[in-house]
């Protein structure tokens, strides 16, 4: 079945350093979504990318969707302690109504 892989699984950075997480799908995606889950919390939607090569920014966060629509990345510039959490990507499973989530990248930030 379709797989959505995320790397790295864990990332520890010093406050102020940049951070990037990568998401790769075994199949072409119609769209990709990103979620953030704070420790002890629930996933919260961040953004959706739909177009090939699309780049979207939210303050210090930059999201990219690959040209082939099989990969995506999230880059955080100058991390802050408020960025701590697990970041998940998710893509539709084939032509179904189901989203497949990656296993997430857990980010910790040392102040």
Partner 1 sequence: NAGVTQTPKFQVLKTGQSMTLQCAQDMNHNSMYWYRQDPGMGLRLIYYSASEGTTDKGEVPNGYNVSRLNKREFSLRLESAAPSQTSVYFCASSSGTVQYEQYFGPGTRLTVT
Interface with partner 1 (CB under 8 A) = 9, 30-31, 33, 35, 41-45, 48, 88, 90, 92-93, 96-104
Q: Is the Cβ of residue 85 or residue 104 nearer to partner 1 in the bound state?
A: 104
Shortest distance (Å) from residue 42 CB to partner 1? 4
Shortest distance (Å) from residue 30 CB to partner 1? 7
Contacts of 28 (CB under 8 A, 6+ apart): 68, 69, 70
Q: What is each CA distance from 52 to 68, 69, 88, in whole angstroms? A: 7, 6, 20
Distance CA 53, CA 110 (A): 33
Shortest distance (Å) from residue 78 CB to partner 1? 26
Q: Is the Cβ of residue 19 or residue 35 nearer to partner 1 in the bound state?
A: 35
Instruction: List the helix and strand counts (H, then E) for the chain.
Output: 0, 11
Q: Is the Cβ of residue 97 or residue 111 nearer to partner 1 in the bound state?
A: 97
């Amino acid at each position: 079945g379709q797989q959505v892989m995320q790397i790295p699984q864990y990332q520890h950075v010093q406050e102020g350093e940049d951070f990037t997480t990568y998401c790769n799908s075994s199949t072409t995606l119609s769209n990709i979504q990103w979620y953030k889950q704070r420790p002890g919390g629930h996933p919260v939607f961040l953004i959706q990318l739909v177009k090939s090569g699309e780049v979207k920014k939210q303050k210090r966060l930059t999201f990219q969707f690959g040209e082939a629509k099989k990969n995506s990345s999230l880059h955080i510039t100058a991390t802050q302690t408020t960025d701590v959490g697990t970041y998940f990507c998710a893509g539709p499973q084939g032509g179904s109504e189901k989203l497949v989530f990656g296993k997430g990248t857990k980010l910790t930030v040392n102040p």
